[in-house]
Structure 1
Amino acid sequence: MKSKTHILIYIIVLINFTVFAQYGKQKKADSLFNKFSFVDASEVYKDLIEKDFNKDYSVRQLADSYAYMRNPDSAAVYYKKAVEQNNVPTEYYYKYAQALRGIKEYKESRIWLRKFKDAGGKIDNNKFLKDADFITTIFNTKQQYFLKDVKFNSKFSDFGAYVHNGLTYFTSSRDEGVSTKHIYGWNKEPFLDIYVKAENDTIVDHKSKIKGKINSTYHDGPLTMTNDGKTIYFSRNNYNKNGLAKDKAGISNLKIYKASLINGIWDNIEEVPFNNDEYSTGHPSLNSDNTKLYFASDRHGGIGGSDIYYVDLKSDGTYGDPQNLGNVVNTDKNEVFPFINNENVLFFSSNGHQGLGLLDIFVTTKDQNDIITGVLNLGVPVNSSKDDFSFFMSEDGTSGFFASNRDGGVGSDDIYAYNRILPLKVEGTVTDIINNKPVIGAKITIFDANNNQIAYLETDENGHYEINIDRDADYKIVSSQTKYVDDSKTFTSKNVPKSTTSITTNLSLNPVQDVFVLAELNTIYFDFEKYNIRKDAALELDKIVNMMQKDYPNMIIRIESYADSRGTIKFNDWLSQARAKATNDYLISKGIDASRITKYEGFGERILLNGCDGSINCEEKDHQLNRRTEFIVIQMQ
C-alpha cells in the first residue's frame, strides 16, 4: 500500500512540475514577444503548442511572431489555424488576409477581408490596396502605444530621456535659473546639457544638471550608461581649448565621449578613438551586456547621409572597427538615434524608410541567425507628421519615452512618455476558506462564453496563478483540488481600460471532510452540569491524540461543545464553552500543538440532537446525547 502511495505522490509531483514548467515557458515567451524578440519567442510558443498548453493563445502569438519576422508563408499557416478557433479576435481575419497577400493568394485574401468587414472591422481600402508592406500593416492592426503626460518638459528643446536605476537622464537646452546663457546661433536657444531627475522631482532646473565634468559650454547629450552605472557614453560638440573645432566646411561635428563615476561625480572625460573632426559621431547606445556600442555617423563610406554603426567593446578596454549595419537598416537618407533594448532589439529613427512624416521611429526584426531582416514602423501615436526620435523602452517593454517636435508640445522638442498595450492577463490567489492559507497545486481551468476550455494551469507555491487572455470577452474560471470543494467565478475583459494589463480574480476553496476519519473522531460526553473530562471521554480523546500525532500529522480540527436544555440559556452557554476549553486543554496537554486546533467554541443548548428542549419529558439517556463535544476536520494533509 505504501509503495502505491509513493508512486501516486511521485505522479502528482511530476504533473505539478510539468504544469509549472509550461506555465513558466508561457511567461517567458510573452516577455520575449513583448520586447520584439520574435525569433526566441516563436521557439517557446511552438513548444507550448506541442505540449498543448494554452494552445489557442500560443497559435495566435506564433502567427504574429512569424509575421513580424517577415515570414509570410509560416504566418499564413498559423493565422489559418487561428481563424478556425472559436471566439478568435476579429482582427485575426484581417491579419490572415494580409498574410495571404504576402504569399500572393489574392483571391483568398479578399474572402477573409470580407469576413473581417462583415464582423464589424473597418478598413481603409486605399491603404490596403496601396500598401506593399503587408507586415507593417499587420503590426499596426491595433494601436499598441498610448501616450501619457510628461511633467518636466520646458519651453526649450527636451529629448533623449533615458532611465537607469530609477533616475531619468535627459538632454535639454532649458538652462533656466542661470544668469549667463550660452546661446546656440542655429535656433537661438541655450546649448544642450544633460539633466537628471528622480521620479518625484517636480522642479527641474540648472540645479538638476548631472554632476561632474559632463556638461560643457556647448552641446552635450544624449547619453547611454553601462549596467553597473559607473560609465557613460555621451554626445558632445567637437571643441578644444580654443572653442568649437570645425571641419573643412566650417561645421562643428558631434563626437562621442566616455566618462567614469568617481565618488558620485562624473570625471575622467575621454574621447573615443573612432571620432573624427571631419564627420559626426553621436547618439551612443549600449547593447544589453555592454559588449557593443551603437551610434549614428555620417562618416565616409556609408550608405546615406547618416547611418547606424556599432563597435565592439573589448575586455581590455579597446574598441573594434566601426561596422555599418547595412542597407536593411540604413537608407540613402538619415538614420539616427539608435536604441538597443535588453533583448538586443534595435530601435532607431529614419527619414529614409516609409513613414508618416519626417523622422519616424522604427524597430528591427531578426531571423533565427540573429540577422536583421526588416524594419517596422511603430505607427501612431509614436510617429507623427513631424520629427520623432530618441526612443527608449523600459526593461519589461511596457513603457518608455521618445521625443518629437509635433504640434501641441510645450517647447521646440518635447519628451513624450508611453505605455504599451500588452496581453491582458487574469491572475489571482486560491486560498483555503478556513485558514486563509494558499492552496498549492490547485487546478485552474478557464472557459469562454460558450463553455469551451481555453486554458489550464495550476497554482504555484504561493497559491498564485496568472495567464494571458483576450480582451473584450466573457470568461468563467474554475478552481479545483482533490481535498476541496470546487469554486468558480465569472469575469469579463470587456470595457477594460487599455492601460490595464491585469484582472484579479481570487478564489476560495472549502475543505472536503474525510468521512472515514470523521467516523474515528468519536463524540465525547459530559455529566449533568459538569465540564470535567470523564474517563470514557479521556479514552476517546487519547485516540484522537494518537491519530493526529501518528496517522495524520498535518490534520487540523475545530472543537464544538454543547449542553442539554436544562438550566438557563446564559448558564448553558458558559457551561458549553467550559466543556470546549476542557477538551482543548486536554488535547494540548497530551502534546497536540495549539495551532492545530483552529477554534474551540460552546453553543449552549442551541443545537439539540433530539426533541428534548423542555417541552416534553425526556429520559436521562436522551439528555446525555446533548451534553457533548464534537470534532470538525478542517484539514487532512
Structure 2
Amino acid sequence: MFAQQGKQKKADTLFSKFSFVKAAKIYRELIQDNYNKDYSTRQLADCYALLRDPRNASRYYKSVVKQDNVPVEYYYRYAQSLRGTKKYKESREWMQTFKDSGGIANTEDFDKDIDFITHVFNAKQQYFLSRIRFNTKYSDFGAFEHDNKIYFTSSRDEGVAIKRVYGWNEQPFLDLYVTDKDRKRQVDYSSKVKGDVNSIYHDGPATITNDGKTMYFSRNNANELGKVTDKEGISNMKIYRATLKDSIWTDIEDLSINNVEYSTQHPALNRDNTKLYFTSDMPGGYGQSDIYSVDINPDGTLGTPENLGDIVNTEKTEGTPFINNEGTLFYASDGHLGIGLLDIYATITDENDKIVDYVNLGVPINSNKDDFSFFANDDGVTGYFSSNRKGGRGDDDIYGFYRVPVLHVKGVVTDAINRKPIANSVIKLFDDKENEIAYMVTDEFGYYEINIDRNKDYKIVGSQKKYIDDYREFTSKHLKSVESTITANLILNPVQDVIVLAELNNIYFDYDKHNIREDAKLELDKIVKLMTKEYPDMVIRIESHTDSRGSLSYNDRLSIDRANATYEYLVANGVDAKRITEHKGFGERQLTNGCEDGEKCEEDDHQLNRRTQFIVIKME
C-alpha cells in the first residue's frame, strides 16, 4: 500500500507540474491496480482533457460521472469532451444535467445553445481552407504575415544536437520562426527568428508593429540563471518587447504588465498600435484565463490593464486575441458553447464601438477539436488559424483560409413623390424561375437587407398599401469574391383614389385674367370639403397654366397669378396652408393640345389651356 501511495503522490506531483503525459501513465497503472480508483480516474480524465484528447477524456469521464457525490463540474467536462467527439446530442443532455445540478449560474449561454449546432452546420459557408506546406508532426501555430513574410510559433526543434522537451506534452519547447510567404520547401530550425527573441524555454506567439520595428512576444519567465517560478513552483509566461536593429531582434524588454505570480501572453495590437491585447490569469478575472487590453503610451510605457468584460470572458479559458482592420476582436474560447473544445469567435460592437455580443465563426474554421490563433490579412479575406483537428500533419497545425463574404442585396424603399422612406414595406425576393425565396418588411427607415447566393439571377419586389409595386431585376453573377453587397433601391408611386381624383376637376380662367370664376368656385369648394372633412391628411400641389397667346414672360407671370389666386381661395376657406406643398405657374410651357403660337385654334381649344390642375401628393 505504501508503494501505491508513493505512486499516487508521484502522479499528483507530475500533474501539478503540468507533466500530463507522464502523470497519465501512472494514473492508468493505479487504476489497473484498483488503488483509489475513483480519484485516479478523475485525474486521468483531466490529463486527457488538458492534453486536448477528447476521445480518451470522454472515455474516462463516462466512468467519473457515475461516481457517488462527484463534483458537478465533471458533468460539464464530460459534456465538453463529448462535443470534442461530435456527440452533440449526448453533450447537450449532460449540459442539461450540469444545469439542473446548479452548475450554471447564468443560463443565457446555455439557452442560446438550443439550436446552435443545427444553425452552425446549416449556415452558408464563408471560409474555405487552403493548404500550408510547412506544418510538422510537432506543434505549429500562431501564424501571421508581415512584410511578405510569415511568422509562426513551433516546437519543431529538429536538427539540433540537444533536444529539450516540455513536460506537458513531451514536445520540444516553442520558438519563433519566419519564412518567405511564397517559400515551398520545409522550414527547419535554421529559419528561427534571428536575434535574442528565442531562448531555451517557450517563446511565442508574437506580433509586430505596423512599421516593422517592434515585436511583442510571449516567453517563459526566466533569466540568465534559469526559470523564475511563482509560489507554486510554476514558471509563468510574460510578454516581452524586442526592437529590430540591423535585421536582428534585440534589446529585449520586460513589460510593466508582467508579474511573477501570473501569466501574460498572446500579444496582439490594434490598428494604430496604440493598444495591446493579451491573455492573462491575473487575479480579478472571470475565469481560468481572460482577455485584457492596455494602452500603449507615445513614450512606449503601458497603462493599466483592463479586462474586456463578461461578454468576451467566461469562467473557462479565453485566449489568442487578434484585432482586424475594422477593429473587430477575434479570440478563442472553450467557455462559450461551441462546436468542440476551443472555438474561434468574433465580437459584435454597437455604434459606440462597445462590445455587445459575439458570434461563432462556424465551420470549417471551427471543428470538434481546438481552434485558435486567428489572423486576417489587410485584405480582409485571407489569413491563418491553428487547429489540432483530425487530418493534420501533427499536433497543432496552421491552416490558411480565404473568405468569400456572405453576399446580400440591400436597399431603401422611398415614396416617389416626397422621397421619404416607406416603413413596413413588404419585400419579396424571387429567383429566375419566379419562385419566392425570401420575405421581409422594411424597418422604420425603409431599409431592407437579404442574404443571397452568388452566380444567380433575381428579382426583388417592394409593395405597400396605397402604393404601386416596384421591382428590380439583378444578378449576382461575375462578381469579385470580395464584393458583399448589391444595392437595389425601390421607389413606390402612391395609388391615387380614382373616385376622389374624379372629383378634382381642373378650374379654368378667362383670357388674360387670373380671378376665380363662379364655376371655378364650385370646384374649389369640393376640394375644400375633401381636404377638411373627408381626407384630413390629404396633401396637394397646385399647377397653373395659360394659353399660347401673349409673350412667354407675360404668360409666366399670369400663370403664377392664377396659381396664387387658387392657393389663396383654398386657404381662405379653411385648407391648412401646410397641406399645399407648392403653387406654381408654368405659363404656356405645358399646353394640352396643339394650340401653339402661329396655329389657328378656336376659343374653346384655347380655354382648355387656361387652367389650374391639382396633383395629389398624399392621401390617407
What is the TM-score of this pair, normalised by structure 1?
0.48
**Which structure: larger Rg?**
2
What is the TM-score of this pair, normalised by structure 2?
0.49
